[in-house]
Amino acid sequence: MPYVTVTALSHPGLMRDHNEDSLAVGPWTLCGTVTENPQTLGFPLGTPLVVAVADGIGGQPAGEVASSLVVRHLASLGPTLDSEQAVRDALDACNHSVYAVADGDPELITMGTTVAGIVVLPTELLVFNVGDSRVLDVSGGHAALHRMSVDDSPAPEPGRRTTSIVTQSLGGAPRFTEITPHISTTPLTTGRRYLVCTDGLTDPVPEEAIDEVLRAQDGGRAAFGLWKSAIEAGGPDNITLALIGIVD
């Protein structure tokens, strides 16, 4: 019978003094802390399973508060996320929650976070994101990694591969701003793998290098290899990732 494996880790990188990333895997959350080693969990297919990362916006207050609010909310709603509309409603609720908490504390005004993830259903996947955290199909059947999320970012400046600017986030503005989440549905196929990650991985490590690691390794070795690649590239930001496998 098919089941789902999720291997995840979160690390502050080499340049940040704390971790503003958060992670949800089903009912389990990891908020603003560090995993010593990749952790692998297994789940049966059936009840909707949400796997999501949230990246607190740097340069603004309390990114770790915003990201933890979002993943905890998604984890609590996880079993109800059975349609694109349910995911859209959940992300809208997360956005409202971030602004409501910020409005109650002057020190939290403009805190915000990105979010990206997958909800695994019995026969399909719901892919979602707001901001520049990413969902990638890393199954190896493509000439290169297949990006399933849509970056909310302007085009990089000439000569640069990435940009740190996001054009949409949960929270992040002085006054409440509506969001337009990117949500899509794709059939569930056993044997496929997916990567959900913050830009602490994808900014310093080109997709070709991510692909190379994932073609050579799986599970905890793959997650460690991706983390190591980001660290060897300077570890400029928090690194959080979840590698999802659909196993027969």
Kindly indicate the confidence band of residue 141, based on its pLDDT and cuts at 50, 70 and 90.
Answer: low
179-237 pLDDT per residue, tens:
999 999 999 999 999 999 999 999 999 999 999 999 999 999 999 999 999 999 999 99
Kindly indicate the confidence band of residue 65, based on its pLDDT and cuts at 50, 70 and 90.
Answer: very high
Percent of the chain with pLDDT over 90: 85
Higher pLDDT, 200 or 58: 200
Q: What is the pLDDT of residue 67?
A: 97
Res 22 pLDDT > 60 = yes
pTM of the model as a whole: 0.95
Burial class from Cβ neighbours inside 10 Å (0-12, 13-18, 19+) for residue 158 reads exposed
Cβ-contact 20, 241 below 8 angstroms: no
Nearest-angstrom CA–CA distance, 233 and 246:
30
